[in-house]
Structure 1
Amino acid sequence: MSERLPVLFLTNPIVLPGMVVPLELDDAARAAVDAAQAAGGSKKLLVAPRLEDRYPSHGVVASIVQVGRLAGGEPAAVVKGESRAHIGSGTTGPGAALWVEVDLVEEGPVTDEVRELAAEYKKLVLAILQRREAWQVIDSVNRLTEPSALADTAGYASYLSDVQKRQLLETPDVADRLRALIGWTTDHLAEVEVNDKIADDVRDGMEKQQKEFLLRQQLAAIRKELGEGEPEGSDDYRARVEAADLPDAVRTAAMREVDKLERASDQSPETGWIRTWLDTVLDLPWSVTTTDSTDIVEARRILDADHHGLSDVKDRIVEYLAVRARRADRGLQVVGGRGSGAVLALAGPPGVGKTSLGESVAKALGRNFVRVALGGVRDEAEIRGHRRTYVGALPGRIVRAINEAGSMNPVVLLDEVDKVGSDFRGDPAAALLEVLDPAQNHTFRDHYLDLDLDLSDVVFLATANVVEQIPGPLLDRMELITIDGYTEDDKVAIARDHLLPRQRERAALTEDEVVITDEALREIAANHTREPGVRQFERFLATALRKAATRLADGSTEAVTVDVDNLTDFIGKPRFTPDSDERTAVPGVATGLAVTGMGGDVLYIEATATDGKPGLNLTGQLGDVMKESAQIALSYVRSHAAELGVDPAALEKGIHVHVPAGAIPKDGPSAGVTMVTALVSMATGRRVRADVGMTGEVTLNGRVLPIGGVKQKLLAAQRAGLSTVFVPHRNAPDLDDVPAEVLEALDVRPMTDVADIVAVALEEAPAQVTAAA
């Protein structure tokens, strides 16, 4: 059915059938209303949405309920939508309004599916209205039974957009309209539920914060009345972080933790971890560095003043500092390893001054010094730190050393790296690899801090007693400097210049009150101590000064002089006397040289023949290598018996080789030549010269192979009173490192054949033995 009606285009609202809406009338709208009133008694017009992209295809036939003015005096009209209509072609009519041909859209039959869709949509609409507590509207909706009318009430829905409402207007099929409305309404209801939940959570949180704020204010008032201060840890961390001079990455991480701290409650255990972490980060000297001294002459003066001797070690340290100074002068990067060589490792027996050398390096550089003791450390977390989630977590020793030093470029001494252990808690030596590797330590990450820490400008020094106990990958990152020990003259000079003044000060004595002569100092070095260092020497000096102080306390006014004649009154009888004459007084005993963790030492090897079962018996707690050296020595002597003047029958008996001091484990190949000499001495009955010592590995054909620790062994030979020492010929270059006074005191003979050693080391055979032969 076609009809000719004036058309009223509206941008807002979108009018659907059944809706009653007031409209403010502009000129075009007033023309349409006037045309509808003038057309007859029906007072109908077509209300259609104004579209920018196209001409509308549908509109609503509406009747004019009332025409008047709004409260502000603007003209208005109230219209009621009645039915959908399809807009046809334009036509003419009275007045200034636009007239169009419209075809009314008939509603389809109401099926069971439509009724089910209408019932579902009604439930959704009622759920939304109940949330809003719109009870009058709920009653109106409940009275609606026509599915089409129910669907068209969506024109009042504020949650539907104009586009969605235009789609409803242009959808004549009721079932399609209801399906679309169910989908849109379901989505809106879900959104409303989420928003309501968020609002409830926010409300609860605000109420909790308000409650906590009120309680804190009350607590502060109570503390104020009691005269108590604020609890520990209530500092304004945000202000502290903002005021601190931190790198950007560190500042970002710190502010992130501050945000967590401010959001967390005081009862949360996390707040304690965060405060401790922030305190640690803020205490680190992120922007503090010291300026290096580049005066190499002054550096050498400091080393000479602090340490006697050790010229090779001092030269290497001065070279190390000289390279750093040149790079600094030329504006090149100076970092712990890349700018001046590898990490220096000072290796040597106890008491030779390794730790004090590290302090002197720091003094020469003008840097802060900190010592990290690694002896006995077995937990990897001691180096890398603990995870913050663990109870009692702490940063690693490296981070704590930086904090203790108070600067980002200190001299860090890693003491006793050879005594680092490993167990189920990890391998600390493996964790040190990153610390000492100049290609990695600029981004060292401590587990506790979880931040990149630049260690590239830290000067790392390491100390060790036994180089062989340092893991290979760790030793590969260090440059080894060996400190083998002091000569007798060195010890006397160190005691006179360093030890004695220090012990006088500790005993509150002056030079006028107690005098210890150089002869007494030399006697202590020769016969009271047999150490490569000077710790025991210093203890004897302390003992002598305490006894001197006791004598002065008795009222004596005369100065106390400690000399060789009265030395036993102050420190007791000599503990070490040359015993090689006594030990080698019988055949079968030879004097060897060995190296232990305490430095060089003499090693006596005894051999004897028994009437028991033939074979080789070894005692003295020997290691596998040393046992094999004894077997090689016996095989060599048997195979070269004629050349050595040995009766083969003497070697068919039971042979017993013993190395005294059985409580001490012994191992190594360098006792091979000594065992050969002892076996030949036992078999021939010729004694080994008391003044002869020897060292070297021996092969089955008698070749003498090189060994290690030549300098330490020669120092031990000098202390033991030996005069002739045989060393492997291939160790001759090592003699350049031996002090000149030691080489002057010893007749050092490099040898290649053990038979030559035996020929010189053995005394002439006694007359009765020669006659019997």
Structure 2
Amino acid sequence: MTQNLSLPAPLPVVFLHDTVVLPGMVVPIELDDSSRAAIDAARLAHDGAQDDQPTRVLVAPRLEDRYATHGVVAVVDRVGRFAGGKPAAVLRAERRVAIGAGVTGPGAALWVEAEPVPAPVVTDEVRELAEHYRTLVVSILERREAWQVIDTVRRISDPDALADTSGWAPYLTEDQKRQVLETPDVAERLRLLVGWTRSYDTEDEVTSTISEEVREGLEKTQREFVLRQQLAAIRKELGEGEPDGSDDYRARVEAADLPEPVREAALREVDKLERSSDQNPEAGWIRTWLDTVLELPWNERTEDSHDVAAARAVLDADHHGLDEVKDRITEYLAVRARRAERGLEVVGGRGSGAVVLLAGPPGVGKTSLGESVARALGRKFVRVALGGVRDEAEVRGHRRTYVGALPGRIVRAIKEAGSMNPVVLLDEVDKVGADHRGDPAAALLEVLDPAQNHTFRDHYLELDLDLSDVLFIATANVVEQIPSALLDRMELVTIDGYTEDDKVAIARDFLVPRQLERAALTPEEVTVSEEALGELAANYTREAGVRQLERLLAKAFRKAATRLATGEAERVDVDLEALKDLVGRPRFTPDSHERTDVPGVATGLAVTGLGGDVLYVETSVAEGTAGLTVTGQLGDVMKESASIALSWVRAHAGELGLDPAALDRSIHVHFPAGSIPKDGPSAGVTMVTALVSLLTGRPVRSDVGMTGEVTLSGRVLPIGGVKQKLLAAQRAGLSTVYVPERNRPDLDDVPAELLAALDVRPVGRVTDILAEALEPAGASAGSTGSAVSAA
């Protein structure tokens, strides 16, 4: 670019609103009144000068807040009109100038002084910046395949001219181009352009890469579409048809045995599938939903067995005892049989189902009983494990909008059973949890409510599913952990555990044959005596169920198999003498006589998640500040019971023959096994008995156990779990048990052999227990008046 041309001064100004003109550019402009006046003034001045110089004007951007500081001197090459008829002119910019003060001149235009800009000094830094800028520009142009423009840019050797080519750059804003115009220093101008161009080059490269990937993806999709269409045509010619197409689903829906509302919903989904392409992700969701609906046994039902006697025989053959549960199932069958005989509706309908809750400690046969019920009814059996479930969607299903959505466990159980009237065992319903994903126990309310489950709606299916003819059997260890609303919808049947005689019978009839088969032994090779089974049940296990008993039998049979395999013996008899070698020493022996041989210790009874258990209460008294200390990891209820017990003893010290001063000392009540949490309203009478025993020096009879809560007036309040506590008393070797008088009706549910083995005495006041449970004064070495002081 030439910088030494003569510079006419002053020059008329052509202001441009939306275009920034840099040196070297040739641009057409639309002439408005202002720009026409400037060109006319320039022509008038040129005609008056009578020289051979072309007509020139000063072109500058029009700014809203200020006047431009720089512009370009441009030659007016041509004046005419655009194709649309609007007046126009072609300007060829020559050089950058600074805009000086305004002056007067011919015409109506604005005349200003055009001050020349010094020629740039080309240094090594300027050349390096120019090459960097050229590389960035060429990189952008190569992605656009603008090869002619690339050649032009490469031929420009002047850094000043190269920088001013940015006026053609479409990625620079008008403000950026205006800043380039107003920056006369070429080095600073190139720095600005390098920064802007580098930023755009990075974004443009990412955009180009994404566009290329999208283009390749579209080409691949289109190619696959064409190939699929060709494949469909080939299959049509071969008569094979489309295996997964919408036509196949329509035929399957029309041929399936579906209720009318379900058929209509399925056909609506088939219509959506036909309108959608294979590339639409919703097509996969629709196919999965249709497969699930078509696999459900909407109108499939198994025929129930109405032979009540045969069903009871099946239950008796599978389980020993459990008469209450067997009676409940037998009653259910008897009602259905009579309805069938009289032609009344047996399946479906509101509230025709039954929901039974089997509650009891582990190992008593709750889960296996569900299988026996299904076999007795002639129904399919499905087990749904609910232990640890915390997501409500596990019961109600996921919404179809979620990726990987599935129906809930109830729907999956129905699909697995293949009928609409299976026996569904909801195992461990008391171990259902709740968190931010919802409350599964609340979702079970509709499932287990006989008045609602005929229209159960799963979130995935969004269709009404009739569960009224499903026989739900729930199992639980601890009833108190089940929400009250859910418990209200179930019929509670408790399985409290087995007596020793029951365990021996179960082991003889069920456990021994099963474990012999698992150990590949025959009754001729291994025999088990009744005495050995009784010893295992009495002194090797302390459980409500029979799981540990079965493990001990399995251990004995494994050792017997080893002896037979090594030739050590040809036959193994499991009797009392052989138990020590086969399963070890007894783990449990009656110890109540040892624990209660000193004053201040009483034997109570409690219920845990594993069944009934004995609970010893120990007391001591020491000199010091009067007060009560209670230890043993107790809950608030038992701590209050200890305070009530001490208050009652203080209030009745005279009647008990106690010195009131003996109570004004530090009294300690302790429940051993302090690592086990304990709570519940059933240890009040035990603590009163232990305190009176301590303060009177009279030990508690070693064969006595007791349970019940005491009030400040000395009344004994009723408690729960009577049967489990009596079973625990029998296992612990007790012979006399005191229970609250108001629990007398609960004794009707206790097996006759258990009542025959125990002397169960209902009492109404705690004084009745004290009169009978304590040893007579002077009956032991410790029963002296000085026993309290010694303690």
Q: Give your verdict on TM over 0.5.
A: yes
Question: Map of 1:90-129 to 2, 5 A cutoff?
Answer: none
Aligned to 2:606: 594
CA distance in 2, matches of 1:256, 1:212: 27
User: What is the Cα deviation at residue 613 of structure 1?
Assistant: 2.6
Aligned to 1:711: 723
- Alpha-carbon distance change, 355 to 436 in structure 1, aligned in 2, over 3 angstroms: same
CA distance in 2, matches of 1:367, 1:342: 14
Aligned to 2:447: 435
Aligned to 2:344: 332
- Alpha-carbon distance change, 514 to 234 in structure 1, aligned in 2, over 3 angstroms: farther
CA distance in 2, matches of 1:623, 1:230: 68
2:409 maps to amino acid? R
Question: Map of 1:597-608 to 2, 5 A cutoff?
Answer: 597-608=609-620
Determine if contact 1:385/1:394 at 8 Å carries over to the other structure: yes
- Alpha-carbon distance change, 755 to 209 in structure 1, aligned in 2, over 3 angstroms: closer
CA distance in 2, matches of 1:410, 1:547: 42
Determine if contact 1:607/1:679 at 8 Å carries over to the other structure: yes
CA distance in 1, matches of 2:507, 2:383: 25
User: What is the Cα deviation at residue 212 of structure 1?
Assistant: 7.5
- Alpha-carbon distance change, 260 to 209 in structure 1, aligned in 2, over 3 angstroms: farther
* 1:452-494 C-alpha deviation (Å, 9 max, x unpaired): 0011111111111111111111111111111110000100110
Determine if contact 2:357/2:474 at 8 Å carries over to the other structure: yes
1:688 maps to amino acid? V
Aligned to 2:565: 553
SS at the partner of 2:520?
coil
SS at the partner of 1:676?
helix
Determine if contact 1:375/1:419 at 8 Å carries over to the other structure: yes
Out of 755, 770, 775, the residue aligned to residue 758 of structure 1 is 770
* 1:706-761 C-alpha deviation (Å, 9 max, x unpaired): 11110110010000000110000111111111111111111111001101101211
Determine if contact 2:391/2:437 at 8 Å carries over to the other structure: yes
- Alpha-carbon distance change, 580 to 730 in structure 1, aligned in 2, over 3 angstroms: same
Out of 670, 678, 692, the residue aligned to residue 680 of structure 1 is 692
SS at the partner of 1:236?
helix
- Alpha-carbon distance change, 768 to 407 in structure 1, aligned in 2, over 3 angstroms: closer
Out of 345, 350, 353, the residue aligned to residue 357 of structure 2 is 345
User: What is the Cα deviation at residue 651 of structure 1?
Assistant: 1.4
CA distance in 2, matches of 1:234, 1:214: 18
User: What is the Cα deviation at residue 320 of structure 1?
Assistant: 1.6
Determine if contact 2:242/2:248 at 8 Å carries over to the other structure: no
SS at the partner of 1:566?
helix
TM-score, normalised by the number of residues in structure 1: 0.70
- Alpha-carbon distance change, 263 to 553 in structure 1, aligned in 2, over 3 angstroms: same
Q: Is residue 480 of structure 1 aligned with residue 492 of structure 2?
A: yes
User: What is the Cα deviation at residue 223 of structure 1?
Assistant: 11
CA distance in 1, matches of 2:699, 2:720: 27
Out of 376, 384, 388, the residue aligned to residue 364 of structure 1 is 376
* 1:13-46 C-alpha deviation (Å, 9 max, x unpaired): xxxxxxxxxxxxxxxxxxxxxxxxxxxxxxxxxx
1:470 maps to amino acid? I
Aligned to 2:209: none
SS at the partner of 2:769?
helix
1:388 maps to amino acid? R
Question: Map of 1:311-710 to 2, 5 A cutoff?
Answer: 311-335=323-347, 342-556=354-568, 558-710=570-722
- Alpha-carbon distance change, 462 to 753 in structure 1, aligned in 2, over 3 angstroms: same
User: What is the Cα deviation at residue 611 of structure 1?
Assistant: 2.2
Aligned to 1:245: 257
Determine if contact 1:324/1:340 at 8 Å carries over to the other structure: no
SS at the partner of 2:363?
coil
CA distance in 2, matches of 1:298, 1:405: 23
- Alpha-carbon distance change, 539 to 334 in structure 1, aligned in 2, over 3 angstroms: same
Out of 741, 746, 749, the residue aligned to residue 758 of structure 2 is 746
Between stretches 644-653 and 505-514, larger displacement belongs to 644-653
CA distance in 2, matches of 1:742, 1:730: 20
- Alpha-carbon distance change, 338 to 655 in structure 1, aligned in 2, over 3 angstroms: farther
* 1:123-143 C-alpha deviation (Å, 9 max, x unpaired): xxxxxxxxxxxxxxxxxxxxx
- Alpha-carbon distance change, 213 to 391 in structure 1, aligned in 2, over 3 angstroms: closer
* 1:528-575 C-alpha deviation (Å, 9 max, x unpaired): 111111111111111111110000110246211010111011111111
CA distance in 1, matches of 2:358, 2:616: 30
* 1:569-591 C-alpha deviation (Å, 9 max, x unpaired): 11111111111011112211100
User: What is the Cα deviation at residue 221 of structure 1?
Assistant: 9.0
Question: Map of 1:211-360 to 2, 5 A cutoff?
Answer: 214-218=226-230, 236-335=248-347, 342-360=354-372
Determine if contact 1:320/1:340 at 8 Å carries over to the other structure: no
2:408 maps to amino acid? G
Gaps of 5+ in 1: 1-207
Determine if contact 2:625/2:664 at 8 Å carries over to the other structure: no
- Alpha-carbon distance change, 521 to 215 in structure 1, aligned in 2, over 3 angstroms: same
1:485 maps to amino acid? G
Determine if contact 1:333/1:339 at 8 Å carries over to the other structure: no
Question: Map of 1:187-202 to 2, 5 A cutoff?
Answer: none
CA distance in 2, matches of 1:662, 1:336: 53
Determine if contact 2:349/2:454 at 8 Å carries over to the other structure: no
1:743 maps to amino acid? L
- Alpha-carbon distance change, 511 to 230 in structure 1, aligned in 2, over 3 angstroms: farther
SS at the partner of 2:379?
coil
CA RMSD of aligned residues (A): 2.4
Determine if contact 1:644/1:755 at 8 Å carries over to the other structure: no
Determine if contact 1:647/1:684 at 8 Å carries over to the other structure: no
CA distance in 2, matches of 1:339, 1:425: 30
- Alpha-carbon distance change, 771 to 440 in structure 1, aligned in 2, over 3 angstroms: closer
Determine if contact 1:327/1:339 at 8 Å carries over to the other structure: no
SS at the partner of 1:679?
helix
Determine if contact 1:349/1:532 at 8 Å carries over to the other structure: yes
CA distance in 2, matches of 1:230, 1:653: 92
* 1:253-299 C-alpha deviation (Å, 9 max, x unpaired): 11111111122122221112111111111111112110111000001
SS at the partner of 2:577?
coil
* 1:188-229 C-alpha deviation (Å, 9 max, x unpaired): xxxxxxxxxxxxxxxxxxxx99997643134569999xxxx9
CA distance in 1, matches of 2:659, 2:757: 37
Aligned to 1:168: none
User: What is the Cα deviation at residue 240 of structure 1?
Assistant: 1.5
- Alpha-carbon distance change, 615 to 209 in structure 1, aligned in 2, over 3 angstroms: closer
Between stretches 284-293 and 256-265, larger displacement belongs to 256-265
User: What is the Cα deviation at residue 325 of structure 1?
Assistant: 1.4
User: What is the Cα deviation at residue 234 of structure 1?
Assistant: 8.2
- Alpha-carbon distance change, 339 to 300 in structure 1, aligned in 2, over 3 angstroms: farther
Between stretches 251-260 and 610-619, larger displacement belongs to 610-619
Identity between Structure 1 and Structure 2 (%): 80
Determine if contact 1:336/1:438 at 8 Å carries over to the other structure: no
Gaps of 5+ in 2: 1-219
* 1:640-659 C-alpha deviation (Å, 9 max, x unpaired): 01112222222111111111
Determine if contact 2:348/2:454 at 8 Å carries over to the other structure: no
1:437 maps to amino acid? D
1:351 maps to amino acid? G
2:441 maps to amino acid? A
- Alpha-carbon distance change, 277 to 210 in structure 1, aligned in 2, over 3 angstroms: same
Q: Alignment length, in residue pairs? A: 563
